[in-house]
């Protein structure tokens, strides 16, 4: 799909994300940044293991649940070679360590808390993404 068309499901998804972020902060005092949640899960901290597993399972299981509730089938097609995806994932992981968080942590949670650091980080993500797309499409000729 080459066009951006808003759907009710996207709006509801955004509302659910917002509610989940608020609930996690209220219930656990934690920020719903995926890199931090996954990183904490990998540290095997027994006191925080259960909620982190539940959060990640919720992320992974949501498409399945959505398809069961709506009857729509969800197809994910990725033309990126596995090696490229692994390298990109490692680079993203390094970036989340350097930037003290990921797009979800800074963009959704940080900006809503009026964190100047998160606003700067999110603007940096957007600018870096735009530059990357420009180079990929116009300099290196990669099409999507």
- Helix, coil or strand: residue 112: helix
Query: Is the pLDDT reported for residue 1 higher than 50?
Result: no
112-139 tens-digit pLDDT: 888 899 999 899 889 988 998 999 889 8
The number of beta carbons lying within 10 Å of the beta carbon of residue 125 is 16
What is the length of the chain? 144
**pTM for this prediction:** 0.68
The number of beta carbons lying within 10 Å of the beta carbon of residue 128 is 11
80-91 tens-digit pLDDT: 888 888 898 888
């Amino acid at each position: 799909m080459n066009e951006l068309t808003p759907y009710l499901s996207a709006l509801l998804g955004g509302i659910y994300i917002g509610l989940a972020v608020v609930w996690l902060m209220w219930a656990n005092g934690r920020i719903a940044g995926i890199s931090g949640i996954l990183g904490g899960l990998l540290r095997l901290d027994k006191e925080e293991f259960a909620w982190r597993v539940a959060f990640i399972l919720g992320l992974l299981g949501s498409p399945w649940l959505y398809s069961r509730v709506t009857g729509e089938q969800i197809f994910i097609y990725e033309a990126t070679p596995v090696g490229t995806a692994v390298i990109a994932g490692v680079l993203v992981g390094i970036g989340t360590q350097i930037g003290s968080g990921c797009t979800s942590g800074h963009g959704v949670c940080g900006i809503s808390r009026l964190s100047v650091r998160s606003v700067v980080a999110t603007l940096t993500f957007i600018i870096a993404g735009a530059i990357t797309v420009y180079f990929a499409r116009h300099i290196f000729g990669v099409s999507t």
